Structure 1
């Protein structure tokens, strides 16, 4: 294919969606590929900061509301599905733009997966916590269910290797035993990375303002409805900043002010981790939104120039 595809990345709340809509207004036939590992889930609108319904009606979006909160969806599955969708959009004369902050989704889409590179500190730590709390047997039994071949090669008390095998499976949806290191899974297009950031203090301010807006817009009610529908922890989809703390509040484990404090603190930490991840990729052209505060159109022009030159 060898066509350029703009990929807009950056930390949570930085302003990726707003810029993508400005680009959609300037370019022809734009349709947006979401790269957000939580916006794929239905009924989780406020806490994941999905675009509003009127915005979704203006520009077609893909990979939003495609799964129920209790359905499994991995980065590997996303990479495969998103590559196919981009190919379809090009064939129909559309201009796909990828927008999101999920680094693992972006990597799966653009570079494919190589087993040694598949890693996520949060997933690994969660599995290690399960190992410490419940012992190795439940994890080993889970591995037997999803990857019998690898389980047969690992001693049932080898917690480290069991955790690693489960980490790979959770991230890719593919058993470690069947993992193939093939370059053919790479994207058949030219990725044009544009990163959006702000000065750290200002970024944290907009992150906290977004949390306040989520609370005002009804995050607690949204989580209450999820609970009524039977979608409750420890579902993976609900191990998300905002939802985890609100469930704790509804269970009377923390009070309201502590809930808000924790959401803000963990959202700031999440933004920091996102930046750490993305800064490892030297292909990204970074823009400081503070430099374009009074003239976002100038930023849009510069991004268009980068894509045109690719």
Structure 2
């Protein structure tokens, strides 16, 4: 069975540098699993690798979606699997790198992409009902038809409540739960590695990265995106760093508060990423505080 290597880990842990060196070692290419880097024009805030940093290694699924467009997990799965097949056809082992757990799930498991199903008319009807009768009416309906989903959705999160109702309306089945014993993929022999560091060391790297992206021109980047007509109603602008700057431009916080908000948001995101990746039974952890890049790559190569 054809192999794929997945390098997962929290923001700022060091995935980019290690993956590029690994791809050089294996004479292969990288497939991104990052839900912000996939968008065009979102460069600085997403810490997208520059051409210089890529060091001649081809990267797939970076800069491929307009920031005006939505991009679902099923869209990612389709595009990533096409890129994987292309590399396998060339006799290469794809290196998939990123921190978006749902993207990685889409390659690890046989997924039922109910999230790609849509019924705009039903959604509009539910939104109208919420405006007229209140969101609690919809939440009660969700409790009646899909109590497990209702337990995982906050009653005030109207968007998720409506989405759960929409999926049930279209498929006749409850929302898929990550913890419901998903079936591992039979498409690939998956080698899954998680990158970690001491928590305080990681948080320090995150805090320093935030200062760096401001020095690189984050405010100017978001101002340019805003001038194109993008705002926080677009999926692309929901990423950490972008949504906070938009709030800043609306006068919602001072510059110091902005920096602190992005640092804190990034630290919280890293914590959630660790929680997500620790669910994987087959993940092999590499501590980058203890291993050099070369040593980490040597550990990975042992499994090939």
Q: What interval of TM-score do these two structures reach, taking the shorter chain for normalisation? A: 0.7 to 0.9
Partner of 1:85: 83
**5+ unaligned residues in a row in structure 1: which ranges?**
119-138, 147-155
The question of whether the paired residues in 2 share the 8 Å contact of 1:8 and 1:99 is answered with yes
Cα 1:278–1:169 shift into 2, 3 Å: farther
1:104 & 1:207 partners in 2: Cα distance?
Answer: 22
1:106-145 map, 5 Å? 106-114=104-112, 143=123
Q: Paired residues, what number?
A: 270
Partner of 1:188: 187
The question of whether the paired residues in 1 share the 8 Å contact of 2:70 and 2:234 is answered with no
Partner of 1:135: none
The question of whether the paired residues in 2 share the 8 Å contact of 1:168 and 1:176 is answered with no
Partner of 1:60: 58
The question of whether the paired residues in 1 share the 8 Å contact of 2:20 and 2:54 is answered with no
1:180 & 1:257 partners in 2: Cα distance?
Answer: 40
Q: CA deviation at 1:87?
A: 1.1
Q: CA deviation at 1:141?
A: 5.3
Q: CA deviation at 1:159?
A: 3.3
Render the CA deviation track for 1:24-58: whole Å, top value 9, x for unaligned.
22112x11110001111111000001111223461
The question of whether the paired residues in 2 share the 8 Å contact of 1:115 and 1:168 is answered with no
2:238 & 2:175 partners in 1: Cα distance?
Answer: 29
Cα 1:64–1:140 shift into 2, 3 Å: closer
1:58 & 1:291 partners in 2: Cα distance?
Answer: 28
1:18 & 1:259 partners in 2: Cα distance?
Answer: 28
Secondary structure of 1:211's aligned partner: helix
2:122 & 2:31 partners in 1: Cα distance?
Answer: 33
The question of whether the paired residues in 1 share the 8 Å contact of 2:3 and 2:191 is answered with yes
* Alignment pair present for 1:105 and 2:103: yes
TM-score with structure 1 setting the length = 0.79
**5+ unaligned residues in a row in structure 2: which ranges?**
127-135, 143-157, 177-181
